[in-house]
Each structure stands twice: as C-alpha cells, then as structure tokens.
Structure 1
Amino acid sequence: MECRKFEITLVSALDLKNVRRLGKMKVYARVSIGSGNPEAEKRTQTDRHGETNPAWNFTMKYTISESMIQHYNTMLVIKLYCKRKLGDRYIGEMHTPMKELFEFAKPLGGSCILSFPVQKGCVNSQGVIRLSCRFGEKVILDELLLAESLAADSEVHGPREVILICGN
C-alpha cells in the first residue's frame, strides 16, 4: 500500500463570529479527513483566552493512503465549536480537498501555510482559520508489517498520535 505521512497544525483563527450572549468564547476545533470516520477525528485543546481570535498551535499526525491525494473526493474538514456548559455551539467550518492541499504544498517542498474562510452553511461566515500542513515522501507499506509495527510500538511507547487512514 502506498502511503504518506501528513501533519496538520491548526495555528489560529481570526475574527470569528461571537456565538455567546454571555460569557467568554472558548473555542476548539474538530479535524477529520475523508468520509468523517469518527475514529480518525481529532480535537484541539480549547482556547480559553483568545475568544473570537483563538490560537491552538496544535499538530495532528496521520498516515494517509496515496489515493487520498490523487482524487478530489477526499476532504479535510475542520469544524469550530464554542465550549459551553449547556452544550457546545457550532461556529462554522472549512473544508478543502486533500488533492488541492497536496498540489499547493508540493512545489513548496511539501509544506505550506494557508488561510481559509470559515463557512456556516452555504455562505462565508465571519472569520478565517490559519493552518500549516506537511506531506511526507511516498512510501510503500506492507499492511501486515504495518499492523505488527504499530502494535509493537504501542506496547513500548503507549498509544500514538498517528492514525492510518485508508481510502479508495
């Protein structure tokens, strides 16, 4: 199986819409790649100080199949939420094809820093989200060897931040 390492760092968001009537905005993000598999979704820590301008500098690591960057159907989705005691409130999201991210990063050595508008429904909401991403070199992994390696590594080092996502 042909795979790549993929790292994404959620840097910050600027000018988000204030969805609280009382109290401070405490914003976190949920990141997913592909079909929204809950096991592959990751969450940033909650920024408790920036309110409508949160900063996370939170890095997530994935191992993705090569096919995920060859077609436009695999999406990177980042959803922003305001943490509240009576249930978290949705702020907005951004989504972009993994193929577009890769094509933008490839001539820059596989890394890039980008800003995207935050959307809510069909229209642009208020705000922008900043992220950086890095694609590693293509490698061929034997599925059995990969499973054994991940199992052995977790016994020695505990659970890892790397998630393998296989897509068509």
Structure 2
Amino acid sequence: MEQRTLELNLTSAKDLKNVSYFSKMDVYAVVSLFGDPQNPQKLKTPVDRNGGTNPTWNFPLKFTVNESLARQNRLSLDITLRCQRAVAADKDLGQVHVPLRELIDQTGDGKSFQHVSYQVRKPSGRPKGALSFSYKFLEKFAAPATAPPPPAAAHKVEPPTNYPAPATGSTSAMYPTVYPPQPAQYAAGYGYPPVAPPQYTGGYGYPQSQTGYGYPAQSGYGYPTQTGYGYPPQVQNQRPGKNKFGMGLGAGLLGGALGGLLIGDMISDAGAYDAGYDAGGFDF
C-alpha cells in the first residue's frame, strides 16, 4: 500500500463573519483528514489575536495520505474556522471542504507549493469569506508492514490438588491419575453387609413361643368361652349397600303394619263374639 505526505501551509482568511462586537475576534483553524478509518488525523493552527475578521497564520501542517483512497475520491480535508472565547464555548465561523483528489489533479511538478483559495461557508450554509493555503505532495513510499500480534501463550493444565502429583518425566504429567473406587469392607469378609434373620411376633409384641427359658408359654387368658346356654345369637341379613337408618325405618313400618293387622283381627273377633252372644237366644 502506497502513501504520500501532504505538506500544507495554512496562510490566511478574509471577510469572515464578525461574532464579537466589543473586541477583535481570536480566530484559529482546525484541519481534519477524513475518509481513512485506520489513520484518522486532526491538527490545528495557533490563535491569531490581532487579525479579527481577516486572520493570518502561515502555519505549516503535514498529513500522511493513502494514495489509493485519495485516487478513489474517498479522502477530504475539512477546515473549520473558530472564534476563541473566554467565557462561553468557542463559536464556529465557517467551514471549507476540499476533496484530496482535486488537489492531486492540480499538482504541477510536485516540487513547488500550489496556492489555492476556497470559499468559506457559514454553519447555515451561506457563503461568507475566503480561505487561502498552499500545498504539495511528496514522493510516494510504501506503508510500513504491520507486525502480526504475538501468539497467545499455551494454556497449561494443572492437575487437581486432590490427586497425588505424577512422577517427574512421566508422560501423564498433563493428566491426573484416576483411581478405581474401592469396595466397602464388612466384617467377617463379606462383600455385602450380612442380612439379619426376620423377627416374627405373635401379635402381642413377643415371640409366640420361647423354649429353654422360664416357664412354658400359657395359652389363653381368663375363663373359657361358655357354649350351649340360651339361644344362639340372631343374625340379621342385611343387604349390601343399605345403611342402618333404612333398615330401622323398614323394620318399624313392618312392625306397625303387623300390629295394625293384629289389632284389627282382635276387634273382628270381639264383634263376632257379640254377634254369637246375641244369637244365643237372649231376646228382650
């Protein structure tokens, strides 16, 4: 990639807008090279405190220009004229925009400065004043090669602290030693824990029978169950799914009906008895 050095001599400006009504303006210029993102450049001139609306600098500036970008009309010089103020922020007076390809096309023999003048435009876009400067391009030169970044350091894997360090010179220094899990040790050499025999209880929290200790187990408690007296217990057949309330209600209704029938029969029997008595021959 070829580059060239641009030597610029910012001479003067005239007929600028007056923004200071009580004293002379203190004017300076800021020159920027735009279009090269890899090499942005910005320089400025000293402040002229005596020129007012017609400042003079005669200040030399140098820029490094990418020849290919300049030929493609992708580079430009932006020159901003400003008034320096003590209390408030500096105020822009105007700006000049110069394409570098235009300057290259106007270059003569390349050994002497070329004098040019451009119109100054206020921030509103209206023209006001003029800027003069001289320039020349030096011989082309190759851009210095950019050194590649240093390689990243290799990441060293450290063995975990809960494993013993490997012996010096071992090929497995980068990897920890994995030990197989040891089986659990139990008494009497069993590989598994011994299984206790099941304990059976007879329903009272004690084993059903014990032999060889104390007295023999006693069967039964209290008096034996008496059988053969009285009547056997009455078993009522209950239909599944019926509750006691339904059974009691049904039995009551049945008993009432039977009672009514019995009373009716007794009354009928009494009537028949009276009728027979009357039929017996007692006639008054």
Same-fold call, TM cutoff 0.5: yes
SS class of match (1:101): helix
Q: Which amino acid aligns with 1:46?
A: V
SS class of match (1:16): coil
Higher alpha-carbon deviation: 23-32 or 35-44: 35-44
Q: What pairs with 1:55-74 in structure 2 (closer than 5 Å)? A: 55-74=56-75
The corresponding residue for 2:7 is: 7
Q: Which amino acid aligns with 1:52?
A: T
* Preserved contact between residue 13 and residue 130 of structure 1 (Cα < 8 Å): yes
**CA-atom RMSD in angstroms:** 2.1
Aligned residues: 144
Do the aligned partners of residues 144 and 35 (structure 1) sit closer, same or farther apart at CA in structure 2, a change above 3 Å counting? closer
SS class of match (2:69): helix
SS class of match (1:41): strand
* Preserved contact between residue 30 and residue 78 of structure 1 (Cα < 8 Å): yes
Distance 1:25 1:45 in 2: 13
Higher strand share: 1
Q: Deviations over 1:72-123 (max 9, x none)?
A: 2211100000000111110001001100011112x34363110000012463
Q: Which amino acid aligns with 1:62?
A: F
- Structure 1: gaps of 5 or more residues: 146-168
* Preserved contact between residue 35 and residue 74 of structure 2 (Cα < 8 Å): no
Distance 1:36 1:91 in 2: 26
The corresponding residue for 2:226 is: none
Provide the identity percentage.
Answer: 37
The corresponding residue for 2:49 is: 48
Distance 2:60 2:126 in 1: 25
Cα distance, 1:25 vs. partner? Answer: 0.5
Q: Which amino acid aligns with 2:115?
A: I
Q: Which amino acid aligns with 2:62?
A: K
The corresponding residue for 1:82 is: 83
SS class of match (2:21): coil
Name segments (4+ residues, structure 1) moved above 6 Å. Answer: none
1:141 equivalenced with 2:151 (yes/no): no
Kindly name which structure, 1 or 2, has the bigger radius of gyration based on alpha carbons: 2
